[in-house]
Each structure stands twice: as structure tokens, then as C-alpha cells.
Structure 1
């Protein structure tokens, strides 16, 4: 069956509801709203009448602003969209945008978001000299924590989710964003944020081993390195086992869908149309759900 990745994303976004709810797209690091125009056009062509919104916020170098500041800005936009679309809408968030969207969903008690689709996002953190990191800190993977884990470094978005597995104590103490969002450190809003995040109907996680930016690529499905740089899968992560922000609860509800596709680079998810014959989502991680495979089986082009 011939298909496209954009069709996969669309079906993931709208396939669990009877009608086509509006879809809100959020760009990643060094991106802008125009970079998602191809996806927007495809969605509108494939499903005429679907409203697609791409907020023009924190574009290009503006995406390097601190994550909490971006979450505040996007949070205001999502509040307005909740009034505009009272029956709800879907969030499809690319790369760094996935963490921005996670923050928004955690902080807002009445966000009206039904399905949250995280596309190639560093959900469990980033550790590696990927392209975006090299643009800021060339050739310093081993020493990046020295820059990131201090007040100055925490003013840069990438440092907000830089997770050095060899310096976890310093990460927990000095990183002001990801440990807080993950519930890895205690704070007074932890329970409320978990409740807010669990308002979503479905969490769709999409990524693949050919991703040349997200490191490890399994971070897009909440896997991450241990101190020896061995990848620990989502269901063996502490944030899952302790259910710190609702990940395990979503899974027990049957509301997490995973899709792993090979041979797709990071930019390939949104910058080109990838056509291939697939009848099911590859089981590279051993954790691909039946729900994700069902989505793929029902895609036609």
C-alpha cells in the first residue's frame, strides 16, 4: 500500500474522532510557521474543510529563548484557540515544539486539546552533537553540561532539555526546565500539572532510528541513556514507573500510540514527502502499539 508520512501524521491527529477537528501545528528549534506550510497544505488537501492553525511565534533564533518563556507565549495562543474551538482541537508538535506543547498541556487546566502528537521530539531530553547543538556549541558534547547547567546556559532553550546522563545530579539541581516538567524534582504544582496533562485523549509518539538530530532518537518515545549511554526504554524509565507526570496512567488507559519509522531523517518528517510501501509500523523498539499499526493500515494515498 503506497502512503506518505504526512498522511500518517494527519491520520494520527484526526483518526480517533468522528469528525475532523482543527489541527494546531508547532515548529521546532530554528524553525518558523512557514516551515510547516507543506504539512498544512497536505492536511487541507487530504481533508478539505479541516482548519489548520500554525502560530507565528518564537521563529528562527527566537526559538532559542528559554522554554518557559516560549510555553508562556504558546499558552496564551492555546487559551485563545480554546475559545475559538470550544469543541477542542489537536496539537501536532515537531521537534523542540513537542516539549513546548508538553509544557502548555501541563500548565493549562482547560486547554481543550484532544490528541497530542509529538513528532520527532526530544521528550526525554537531548544528549549528543546533533546539528542544532553544533550551531550553538561546536564539538563540546562532553563539556556542554558546564555551559548548560548554570544560570546563563539556562537562558537557551536547548540547554533547558540538555540531559547529560553522566551528570544527573547536576542536571536535577541546575536544569530549571526538564526535571521540573518531568516531575523528577518535587514542586508544589506537580499534582496539578499531572492532572492537566491527563486531560488529553491520546498521546501519539512518532520517531525513528534515522533521525540525525534527536539523540538518542528513542527520546522521541521517552527512551533515554543510562550513565553508560545504554538506551533505557520508556517503560523502564523512572518517570514512567513512578508516573511522575501521567505517562504510565496514559499507557494504562490505552491512550499512548507509538510509531517508529526507519530511514527518515529529522528534516525529512516535514521537509519532503516520503513515500513507501508499508502495511504496519515497524517494530524496531518492540514497543509499537497495535493502535499505531491500525492507523497505518487505514492510510491510503
Structure 2
């Protein structure tokens, strides 16, 4: 009897002083365009890094498809709505995630995880970390840094026409089967963009305000947005902080706090900002280029431990 009592006391002490590790939340990772859940040089390496720094943690790297090649392909060509449904099914059917999880999205994966948080409230997403996610969409071609560049402008015009100005059937086809077209955002034609967008305008509440999106997003503990200082892939790079161009032009960018999404609080971001739930981080380097030390110090240690 004395031995049993002694063991119970030790267990209680461990719980009180934090030795019980059950409060460590699992992590769900969503890769970016052209990547896969499990490439050893990308998401596989990130998964191992988290597991090394947080012993015993469970990490699920989402595979959208029945194989790694299909996972890569679906990042380009599968309807975003369908991708979100698959991701949600993977999460719901994983018993290790039933009590909630942290999420970590890379590039478009950061945007898709926000959409997932807004659409589904269970299992609960705790912290959302978006690494270079284009939260306000993109208006640029990778490595086309100059808006005035003739070739880049020509490609932009083609994308604008295909995504928003062509016939209803054709533009639906483009956005249904070309993932990146669903978050193409033309700041020179905001009305056409909002009317034609089947994904980004919806999750940003730009046409009809979906209160469920607001309520679910505000349940997050932290929404962490990482911007890459020398990004040449996501244009403008400031979309990674939810910034966007000032109305009517495509040169000068305004802060999130100056956008109509924030001023009208169409997503609840103003409230979240006031509650200190929005976190803006920046790191040197091009798109998704960061050191292990930076990642451990700024992401793992602060949000996963």
C-alpha cells in the first residue's frame, strides 16, 4: 500500500511540474506547389527536425493522393475544394489528432490550411503557421520581380483573361483544373476578380461574409505568418503577411491594417490583431529558404513545445 501511495505522489508531482508530455500537440504539415508530403529533402526533413527537437511528438505530413507522384500532381491540378475535403478526412480519421493539433503550411499549403481552419472546426486547430503562404493571392510570375517587365505583363494578361474574363465555362474549367489560377488576384480589376474567383474571394469573405469562417478562424490561438525577405517566387512577397496592393494599381503595397478586409473586419482579422493572435515574422532569403536554427528558435520552440 505504501509503494502504491508513493507512486501516485510521484505521478502527481510530474503532472504539476510539467513532466507529463500529453499536452504536446501533434503537428499537421501541408506542403507547397511542386512538393510532396514525404520528399526527404523537403517535408521529410522538416518532419524529422520537429521530431528531433520535440521527442515523442506526432507529425502528420498530408499526402493528397494515393502516391507521392499523385500528391505532387494534385498540387497543380486537383480542385482546391476536393483537396480540402481529402485533407480534412485524413485529419478526422487519425485518432492521434482527435484532441486538436498545430498546423504548419508551406507556400500554398499555408493558404490551404487557413481555408481548412475556416471551413472545419473539428478537430480543433490550435496554432496555424504559414511559411510564405499567399494569403491575399498572387499577382506575379515566379522570378518576374518587375511589374513593368513586358513578358511578365503579357503572361499576367493571359492569366487574367483565362481566370476571369473568358466565357463562364472556360474560366470555370481553368480554375477547376489549375490550382494556382484559384488564387490569382488582379489588383487592377478587383471587381472582375471577386466575381470570377471560385476560391480566394470566397475564403477571404470578399463577396458574401460567411460568419462561420470568422468564428472558426478566431478560435486559433495564434496565426503566424512568415514572410521571406528576398522572395522571388511569390509576388508580391507582402501577400505572405496578408498585405496587398493599394486599390487601382500594382506597385505600392499597403499593410493588412489598411486594407478593406481589415477595416471592415470581413475575416475577423482586426479582432484577432487586437487580441494579439496575429504574428508577423520575417526571415532573410528567397522563397522557403531558412536555416534549421531559425526554424527551431522561431517556430518549434515557440509554438510546438
1-structure distance, mates of 2:125, 2:293: 29
Structure 2 counterpart of 1:152: 173
SS in 1 for 2:51: helix
- The counterpart of 1:142, out of the listed 144, 157, 164, is 157
* Change in 2 beyond 3 A, CA 1:183/1:129: same
SS in 2 for 1:151: helix
Q: How many pairs are equivalent?
A: 256
- The counterpart of 1:67, out of the listed 69, 80, 88, is 80
Unpaired segments ≥5 residues, structure 2: 1-20, 66-70, 145-150, 165-170
Structure 2 counterpart of 1:86: 98
Structure 2 counterpart of 1:284: none
- The counterpart of 2:111, out of the listed 88, 99, 112, is 99
1:165-200 Cα shifts (integer Å, max 9, x gaps): 11111101111111111001016xx01121112221
1:1-42 Cα shifts (integer Å, max 9, x gaps): xxxxxxxxxxxxxxxx99431111100112100230111111
- The counterpart of 2:51, out of the listed 44, 55, 72, is 44
Structure 2 counterpart of 1:239: 261
2-structure distance, mates of 1:78, 1:243: 29
SS in 2 for 1:99: helix
Superposed, 1:51-62 pairs within 5 Å as 51-58=58-65, 59-62=71-74
- Return the structure number with greater helix share: 2
Structure 2 counterpart of 1:25: 29
Superposed, 1:110-121 pairs within 5 Å as 110-121=122-133
- The counterpart of 2:286, out of the listed 235, 246, 265, is 265
Structure 1 counterpart of 2:89: 76
1-structure distance, mates of 2:255, 2:52: 37
1:97-137 Cα shifts (integer Å, max 9, x gaps): 112111111111323111000110001110101169xxxx9
After superposing on structure 2, the runs of 4+ consecutive aligned residues of structure 1 that deviate more than 4 Å are none
Unpaired segments ≥5 residues, structure 1: 1-16, 282-291
SS in 2 for 1:123: coil
Structure 1 counterpart of 2:10: none
Q: Tell me which structure has the larger Cα radius of gyration.
A: 2
Kindly indicate whether residue 200 of structure 2 is the aligned counterpart of residue 173 of structure 1: no
1:62-96 Cα shifts (integer Å, max 9, x gaps): 11222212111112122224x43333210001101
Superposed, 1:279-294 pairs within 5 Å as none
Structure 2 counterpart of 1:196: 216
* Change in 2 beyond 3 A, CA 1:274/1:248: same
8 Å CA contact 1:114–1:202 kept in 2: the answer is: yes
Length-normalised TM-score, structure 1: 0.78
**Shift in Å, 1:45:** 1.0
2-structure distance, mates of 1:195, 1:95: 24
Length-normalised TM-score, structure 2: 0.77
Query: Greater relative contact order: 1 or 2 (C-alpha under 8 angstroms, separation 6 or more)?
Result: 1
**Shift in Å, 1:274:** 5.5
